[in-house]
Amino acid sequence: MAARIDFASLSLMDALDLAVLIEDEAKERYEEFAAQMDQHRTPDAAKFFRLMAVNEAKHGQELADRRSQLFGGVTPTVTRAMVFEVEAPDYDQARAFMSPRQAMKAALASEVKAHAFFVAALPSLKDAKVRALFEELRDEEVQHQALVKAELAKLPPDSGLSDDDFVDEPTAQ
Amino acid sequence: MRKDLVFGMAGSGGDGIVSAGDSLLQAASAEGYHGVMTKSFGSQIRGGESSCRVRISTDPVLNPGGNLDVAVALNWEDFLKFGAELPVAGTTVVIYEAATGVPENQIPLVGVTPLQVIAVPIAAMAKETAGTERAKNTVVLGLIAGWFGIGGEAVMKGISKKLAKKSQELVEANQKAFDAGVAFAKSHPLKADMTVVPSSSKGAVKLLTDGNDMCAAAALFAGCQFFGGYPITPSTEIMQFFTNHVWKYGGAVLQAEDEIAGIGAAVGASFAGKKSMTATSGPGLSLKSEMMGLASIAELPLVIVDVQRGGPSTGLPTKTEQSDLFAAAFSAHGDVIRPVLAPTSVADMFRTTVEAFNIAEYYQTPVIILSDQEIASRKETLDPIDTSTFKIINRLVPAGADLQDYKRFKQTENHISPISHPGMLGGTYLASGIEHVESGAPTNSGSVHQRMNDKRIKKLDPLKERKDLFEITGNPDAPLALVAWGSVAGVCREALQMAQAEGLDVKLMVPYLLYPVAEQTYRDFFASVQKGLVVEQSHLAQTFKVLRMHLDLPKGLQSLARSGANPFLPGEIVAALHHLLSELQRSHEGKLQPQE
Amino acid sequence: MSATMTTPGEFQAKDYKSDLKPIWCPGCGDYSVVQGIYRALAAVGRPPHEVAFISGIGCSSRIPGYTTAYGFNTVHGRALPIAQGIKLANPDLLVLAAGGDGDGFSIGGGHIAHLIRRNIDITYIVMDNQIYGLTKGQLSPTSQKGRTTCTSPYGSLENPVNPLLYVLAYGAGFVAQASPTDLAGMAATLEEAIRYPGFAFVNVQSPCVTYGEEAQQIKGLKAISESLSAIGHDPADRLAAMDLAQHYGEKLHLGVFYKNPEPPPTYDALIRERQAQLSQGALPKERILDLFIKK
Ligand SMILES: Cc1ncc(C[n+]2csc(CCOP(=O)(O)OP(=O)(O)O)c2C)c(N)n1
Ligand code: SF4
Ligand SMILES: [Mg+2]
């Protein structure tokens, strides 16, 4: 649970490590979703989730590079256990037969969630550099949202029909 | 023009191909055709491969058919997974999704050259007309209406009825997709005319249901007032039907904590005087065996439905097999005979279930109905059943003199003793699984045990005289024969017709009573037989072995047996008969020629 | 990319992940449970081949196949009896058992009491989704009263089982709850359960997206979840644990309800003791027939 982070005492190195972990988690979740979509013959959504995974990875790599320039190989003190689904979509955001639109909406919701995380953390931050980093990350989330929204806008208009009216019922075993 | 068409369609669960099959069958039935639909699935809960087979005919349909007349593949990967379940032959028209990118001369079906192969941009048409690729199944229905003349109006009528409550927009989207399918078909005529002859019985009332619902409805008709069970595929719908309806007849249903408790509650309800039932599939039948023994020794009426699936253990939960005969007849320890009945179709599930209750109540015994996944889940159109022609038998209850010094297990001429139930004045007794004397008091006397076993086994002897539990068709003196039960019987009925049309002298026996084995009925049937086949979906050939255990079979009688989920085709059975005939002729020639 | 960030130790979560593709519906909570298990196993650090993972039948019971441990997908409701046999046959193994609410509390309900009273060192994980997933949405023993399902079309008339109170009442030494609303917490709780020497039970609220009710999805669960450590619950206090456990269904308490501060010896340990004791002075095997020599 994110609550385990003590924001007041967060150093810049910790904050960078934390940011890398957040991107990392999101990347893994998107990869997992893409695999779920593959397994359930929903290739368009799989493609989109894979794209998201690549984006998160790219962003994570940038942050990791910054971290190693500044702090080299110093052992990190924050752990994966401290972050949970900051930017990764909740597990139940995946759905059978997701359309690209639904997939994008799930991603958008996660970007909104991540934005809210950084906004909520800001008041408790003491270190000015950390604060600057968090502001930067917060603003990036806004950019990400804009990117996903742009992708959404490219889609043909929604038919407004629910898939449940067409697909087969689940299979009993 | 055709009188009979077999469609086989496959896609992923998201393609809604099974819903399309449902709509097609409903429409066909509204247009007065006869039909059967079976479904088969992969192992994912959602989005795995799914397929259905729909057979539509102007005449009553005996089975889901052999080779496909029309194959619909929304993608090849899914279609191929069904292998022998969806056999394509030289007479098949293959329709597939153009977006698969497979050229028409390179479809991945080895060893066959279909009659015609047509790639249709199904997804693109759906997208263009309905605004969503999901409407692919509606496009397919339009193609079928256009090419084969089924469901032109009725399909959309059915869909509109289903969707009107949701939104008019949805109905219109579907209509557009459907019309596009029809238009494509009209502008790309088939090489051969494959439209179906209009049905003469258009407008006649038809029933449309599956084996599980039919079984539950028949049970309620027979007076069943209690169901105890535990969910298990492919039997669960029987319990579901009860949960919806049994209350209306003053009865009750319990979804118990497991199968043992489920049958236990049913045994209790029967002891309490109510007709009762449980239903399960293989793994559950294994669990129920101890309770089945209890019902036998306590002489309590009970109907147990076993909807067979591939076994052992979890096996193939969504596929059919006939491998529970041994378990049905022989599971539970001790010397005991338990009647086993098997329906062959949805239509005769009604009669079989009513019969099971009648036998259970009359003979005070558990009775097993061996249904199977195919019958349980296949939908059939049926002519209405006149229920007034069915007799309902209730258990013999003690009255008057019986209740003076009442003896629950009294020896009688036909070994059947009047049975009281709690609440009946003067009828108190101890029911038990321990051996008991006539009053019900426990005993460990060997002589009583011998006598009581005698009573419990002999009381069932008259069942073996029941000729009406066997269907024999074909020339009674034929030298060639087929024996088959359950869903395989339908395939053999069709094989019989085909073989006769090809001049073979052959007959068919379909037993509805599998156990106890009616020795004399089989002996009479086999009297003329020189060569024959017992056809079954059981790797061990359980039927063949049970018959051999009880009687001397004709030397030329062979077993045609294989594991479930590998359906028999009428054509292959006819081919096997031809082979038998040539063997027979050779052996006759052999006799005429002098030995060297 | 961030190799430095993963759990220190010889094994990483990915070492416990198999190549089998889950059959679960996209979005099913069980995907998160298997992730939690990978992480917990990595933290404990036992090599996959020393782990035996046993399940019953259900959607959730497919889980052992998605790990690289020795898995056994048994029959419905019988994961525990089989798991206990494995543990007794080889107490050195780390034995996990898992299944659904139906598997555990309906058909298999009778077994739980006996594993608890024997205190066999097994970690039992129930993926509680208040429904029968695999058979398409029938009433489960943990479904709320009044719930409509395909076997309760007019609403259920039965009260649900309370899995937490159930195991607490029988005297389980470790009782906890987790959910995908907090995956890190789930991994930590599972790790603690595995490390506990004795029978450990973890109820995981794992939403069924296909048949579950809206309130049981992650959003609904988040709204009612509360961390036991955050409210200052002392896991050594069994009565307080029982008190909190009463709110199963209305509140989602996450973390450890009860952990016996002085774990009694496990059955498997006692058996070893007995084996050691009795083997002293025993006749050598090859002279076993000497037992029949009339004195
Ligand atoms: C003896 C037996 N009875 C019934 C079944 C059918 N069955 C399979 S899974 C299941 C229940 C599934 O519910 P749960 O245990 O809660 O697991 P979930 O699918 O929800 O994860 C049932 C009734 C079976 N496989 N074996
Ligand atoms: S039916 Fe429910 S429990 Fe089963 S895989 Fe789907 S979401 Fe999960
Ligand atoms: Mg469940």
How far are the Cα atoms of B12, B252, C192 from residue C173, in angstroms, in the given order? 47, 40, 12
CA C18 – CA B35 distance, rounded (Å): 45
- pLDDT mean across residues, chain B: 94
For chain B, the domain total comes to 4
Q: Are residues B88 and B121 in the same domain?
A: yes
Burial class (CB within 10 angstroms; exposed 0-12, middle 13-18, buried 19+) of B437 = middle
Q: Which of A115, A99, A112, A105 is nearest to A159 (CA)?
A: A99
Contact C178, C202 (CB under 8 A): yes
Query: Does residue B267 have a pLDDT over 70?
Result: yes
Q: Is residue C274 part of a domain?
A: yes
Q: Are residues B441 and B312 in the same domain?
A: no
C208-217 average pLDDT score: 93
Give me the sign of the Cα torsion angle B516, B521, B524, B530. Answer: negative
Q: Which amino acid is at A114?
A: A
Encode pLDDT of C102-128 as tens digits. 999 999 999 999 999 999 999 999 999
Phi-psi region of B203 (alpha: psi -120 to 50; beta: other; left: phi over 0): left
Point out the domain boundary residue: B389, B416, B432. Answer: B389
pLDDT at C5: 37
Q: With a 6 A CB cut-off, is C208 part of the ligand 2 pocket?
A: yes
Question: Which of B232, B258, B260, B287 is the best mutation target for the ligand 1 pocket, counting ligand atoms within 8 Å of the beta carbon and taking the most?
Answer: B232
Encode pLDDT of B567-577 as tens digits. 899 999 999 99
For chain C, the domain total comes to 1
Best-predicted range by mean pLDDT (B268-272, B523-527, C74-78, C216-220) = B523-527
SS3 B100: helix
Assign residue B292 the CATH number of its domain: 3.40.50.970
In this structure, are strands B93-97 and C252-259 parallel, antiparallel, or unpaired? unpaired
C128 alpha carbon, closest ligand: 3
Residue in C with minimal Cα distance to A17: C5
Cα-Cα-Cα-Cα torsion B148, B153, B159, B165, nearest 10 degrees, comes to: 180
Residue B172: give the domain boundaries.
4-187
Assign residue C208 the CATH number of its domain: 3.40.50.970
Q: Which of A1-10, A22-31, C94-103, C162-171 has the lowest mean pLDDT?
A: A1-10
Q: Which of A164, A168, A153 is nearest to A100 (CA)?
A: A153
Phi-psi region of B71 (alpha: psi -120 to 50; beta: other; left: phi over 0): beta
Query: Does residue C72 have a pLDDT over 50?
Result: yes
CA C57 – CA C65 distance, rounded (Å): 12
What share of residues in chain B are helix, strand, coil (percent, to 5)?
45, 20, 40
Residue in A with minimal Cα distance to C23: A39
* CA B233 to ligand 1 centroid distance, Å: 9
Q: How confident is the model at residue A169 (pLDDT cuts 50, 70, 90)?
A: confident
Q: Which residues lie closer than 8 Å to C268 by C-beta, 6 or more apart? A: C87, C88, C91, C120, C121
Residue C285: give the domain boundaries.
13-292
Q: Which residues lie closer than 8 Å to B374 by C-beta, 6 or more apart? A: B38, B64, B320, B487
CA B399 – CA B415 distance, rounded (Å): 17
Q: Is residue C6 part of a domain?
A: no
Here the ipTM equals: 0.80
pLDDT at A3: 45
Contact B482, B535 (CB under 8 A): yes
Q: Is residue B201 part of a domain?
A: no
Q: Which amino acid is at B344?
A: T
In this structure, are strands B49-57 and B4-12 parallel, antiparallel, or unpaired? antiparallel
Residue in A with minimal Cα distance to C183: A84
Q: How confident is the model at residue B590 (pLDDT cuts 50, 70, 90)?
A: low
B404-423 average pLDDT score: 96
Strand partners, A167: none
User: What does chain A come to in residues?
Assistant: 173
pLDDT at B13: 83
Query: Does residue A159 have a pLDDT over 80?
Result: no
Q: How confident is the model at residue B596 (pLDDT cuts 50, 70, 90)?
A: very low
Q: Are residues B250 and B153 in the same domain?
A: no
Give me the sign of the Cα torsion angle B165, B167, B173, B179. Answer: positive
pLDDT at B592: 52
Query: Does residue C196 have a pLDDT over 90?
Result: yes
Question: Which of B230, B257, B289 is the best mutation target for the ligand 1 pocket, counting ligand atoms within 8 Å of the beta carbon and taking the most?
Answer: B230
Q: Which of B352, B344, B372 is nearest to B235 (CA)?
A: B372
Q: How confident is the model at residue B395 (pLDDT cuts 50, 70, 90)?
A: very high
Q: Are residues B483 and B460 in the same domain?
A: no
Q: With a 6 A CB cut-off, is B93 part of the ligand 1 pocket?
A: no
How far are the Cα atoms of B358, B381, C262 from residue B205, in angstroms, in the given order? 28, 10, 74
Q: Are residues B181 and B298 in the same domain?
A: no
Q: Between these two residues, B164 and B545, which has the higher pLDDT value?
A: B545
Encode pLDDT of B28-80 as tens digits. 998 999 999 998 887 777 878 899 999 999 988 888 888 999 999 999 999 99
Encode pLDDT of B311-330 as tens digits. 999 999 989 999 999 999 99
**Interface probe, candidates C75, C76, C134, C208, chain B, greatest B C-beta count within 10 A:** C76
B12-27 average pLDDT score: 91
Query: Does residue A160 have a pLDDT over 80?
Result: no
Q: Are residues B168 and B234 in the same domain?
A: no
Residues from chain C that touch A36, judged by Cβ atoms under 8 A, are 22, 24, 26-27, 31
Q: Which amino acid is at C245?
A: A
- Residue B307 main-chain phi, psi, to 5 deg: -90, 105
pLDDT at B591: 57
pLDDT at A173: 65
pTM tops 0.95, yes or no: no
Planar angle of CA C105, C106, C110, nearest 5 degrees? 70
Q: CB of A17 within 8 Å of any CB in chain C?
A: yes
Q: Are residues B232 and B316 in the same domain?
A: yes
pLDDT at B595: 42
Q: Is residue C58 part of a domain?
A: yes
Encode pLDDT of C5-35 as tens digits. 334 578 999 999 999 889 899 999 999 999 9
C207-226 average pLDDT score: 94
**Interface probe, candidates A39, A98, A173, chain B, greatest B C-beta count within 10 A:** A173
Residue C119 to chain A, least CA–CA distance (Å)? 30
Q: Which residues lie closer than 8 Å to B543 by C-beta, 6 or more apart? A: B322, B325, B483, B485, B514, B534, B536, B561
Q: How confident is the model at residue B466 (pLDDT cuts 50, 70, 90)?
A: very high
- For residue B312, say if its preceding peptide bond is cis, omega within 30 degrees of 0: yes
CA B474 – CA B529 distance, rounded (Å): 12
Q: Which of B121-130, B571-580, B581-590 has the lowest mean pLDDT?
A: B581-590
CA atoms within 13 A on the CB side of C143: 28
pLDDT at B567: 87
CA B492 – CA A165 distance, rounded (Å): 38
Q: With a 6 A CB cut-off, is C127 part of the ligand 1 pocket?
A: yes
Q: Are residues B165 and B120 in the same domain?
A: yes
Q: Are residues B248 and B165 in the same domain?
A: no
B244-272 average pLDDT score: 93
pLDDT at C7: 42
Neighbours of A65 (CB within 10 A): 11
CA C124 – CA C55 distance, rounded (Å): 9
pLDDT at A156: 83
Please say whether the structural domain A9-165 has been given the CATH code 3.50.50.60: no
CA C138 – CA B226 distance, rounded (Å): 19
Element (H, E) at C123: strand C123-128
SS3 A133: helix
The tokens of B113 are what?
């050259």
